[in-house]
Amino acid sequence: MSIELRNVNYFYNDNLINSYQALDNINLTINDGDIVAIAGETGAGKSTLAEIIAGLLTPTSGNVFVDGANIYANKNKNEKILAKKAKQKIGMVFQYSDRQLFEETVEKDIAFAPKEMRFSDEIIKEKVSCAMNLMGISEDMKEAVPYNLSGGEKKRVAIAGILSFSPKYLILDEPTVGLDAFYRDEILKLILHLNKKENTTIVLISHSMETIAEIANKIIVMKGGKILKHDTVYNIFNDKKLLNEAKLKQPKITSFLNKLKDVGLNVKTDIIKFDDGVKNIIEALR
């Protein structure tokens, strides 16, 4: 199954003098099992697109289907029930964790979603425990006040709060921004684990081309509310004309390999992952 957007448009301040179009006729399919990155300069429409996919913003026009169900359908009771069930398959973690941390304790925050979904107390307890284990949150943090946590800890709790209801589709808006190297690596490992072991489809917004190259298999390139291209990570990062149009850069390792090639070292210039680039440089120096 998949997430499918058909002819989606979105206007902020619709029907007002200062309205503007944030999304322009978006047609898109995100397949099960993908890790899809959304990339583009500031104002390209990335976050708006993510929030519409998550069911948080209603399109001005167009439709969004999750596993065949229109999540914005509301013509009758049956459509509304199907839309609600489809929305419950999607979870979104915002860039700034404080936007979704509001309970008195870490445990209550993580338990909020399954409680709202009316799970039994026993199942809620199991889901909270499972989410905490996945995120490496220790038992002694249960009673901690979320606002007193570090940035990395807040991010973990925010993600655990979403994982507590086991979404099939997980949307992450700049999940590593503001984190030190340790927490960044841990979050990326978690994303790969969720995708490979838990069969979670990931939609990732990031300004870091290195992060995208490391974990994504597809990229949606946006500019001015439109999708310029939706293709594999390899094809996107080796399309210099497209990157220039979208004002994006190649991963640093790719740029470095191009510079080495320019000075005469026999390296490959289409490598996008750091570890692969290092191996290629070592081989070229032998």
Per the structure, the count of domains in the chain is 2
241 in the same domain as 255: no
Confidence of residue 73 (pLDDT cuts 50, 70, 90): confident
Segments forming the whole domain that contains residue 263: 251-286
Statement to judge: residues 26 and 141 lie in one domain: yes
H or E element that contains 22? strand 20-31
Judgement on whether residues 274 and 223 belong to the same structural domain of the protein: no
Taking only the tens place, the pLDDT of each residue in 4-36 is 999 999 999 877 777 889 999 999 999 999 999
Helix residue ranges, H only, the chain: 46-53, 77-87, 106-116, 121-135, 151-163, 181-197, 209-215, 233-237, 240-246, 252-262, 274-285
Are 73 and 80 in contact, with CB atoms under 8 Å apart? yes
CB contact at 8 A, 173 and 47: yes
| DSSP category for residue 142 | T
With a pLDDT cut of 70, the percent of the chain lying above it is 100
Predicted confidence (pLDDT) at residue 250 exceeds the cutoff of 90:
yes
In the predicted structure, residue 70 carries a pLDDT above the cut 80: yes
Judgement on whether residues 272 and 179 belong to the same structural domain of the protein: no
Query: Tokens 């459509």, residue?
Result: 79
220 and 262, same domain (yes or no): no
State which H helix or E strand residue 169 sits in. strand 169-173
pLDDT value at position 75?
Answer: 79
Reported confidence tier of residue 105, pLDDT bands at 50, 70, 90: very high
Tens digits of per-residue pLDDT, 122-156? 999 999 999 999 888 888 899 999 989 888 888 88
Residue 40 falls in which region: left (phi positive, over 0), alpha (psi -120 to 50) or beta? left
57 backbone dihedrals φ, ψ, rounded to 5°: -125, 130
Do residues 93 and 64 both lie within one domain?
yes
SS3 for 66?
Answer: strand
Kindly state whether residues 178 and 243 are assigned to the same domain.
yes
**DSSP at 249:** -
**Does 6 share its domain with 64?**
yes
Whether the per-residue pLDDT at 1 is higher than 90: the answer is no
Q: Are residues 50 and 124 in the same domain?
A: yes
Kindly report each contact of residues 179-183 with a partner whose C-beta sits within 8 Å and lies 24 or more positions away, as own/partner.
179/151, 179/152, 179/155, 180/152, 182/152, 183/151, 183/152, 183/155, 183/156
Q: Residue 83: give its domain's CATH number.
A: 3.40.50.300
pLDDT tier at 97 (50, 70, 90 boundaries)?
Answer: confident
Q: Look at the chain and count its residues.
A: 286
Distance, in Å, from the CA atom of 149 to the CA atom of 82, rounded to the nearest integer, reads: 38
| Same-domain pairing of 257 and 244 | no
| Mean predicted confidence (pLDDT) in 186-212 | 93
Average pLDDT across the chain, whole number: 92
- 216 & 270 share domain: no
Measured CA to CA, the distance from residue 68 to residue 145 in angstroms comes to 40
pLDDT at 286 over 90: no
What local confidence, expressed as pLDDT, does residue 122 receive?
Answer: 93
**What's the pLDDT at 30?**
97
Question: Which residues contact residue 212 at a Cβ distance below 8 angstroms, ignoring those fewer than 6 apart?
Answer: 37, 39, 204, 206, 219, 233, 251
Task: Return all residues near 222 (Cβ < 8 A) that are at least 6 apart.
Answer: 38, 39, 40, 44, 45, 46, 49, 228, 246
Whether residue 261 sits in one domain with residue 155: no
Question: Alpha helix (H) ranges present in 59-150?
Answer: 77-87, 106-116, 121-135
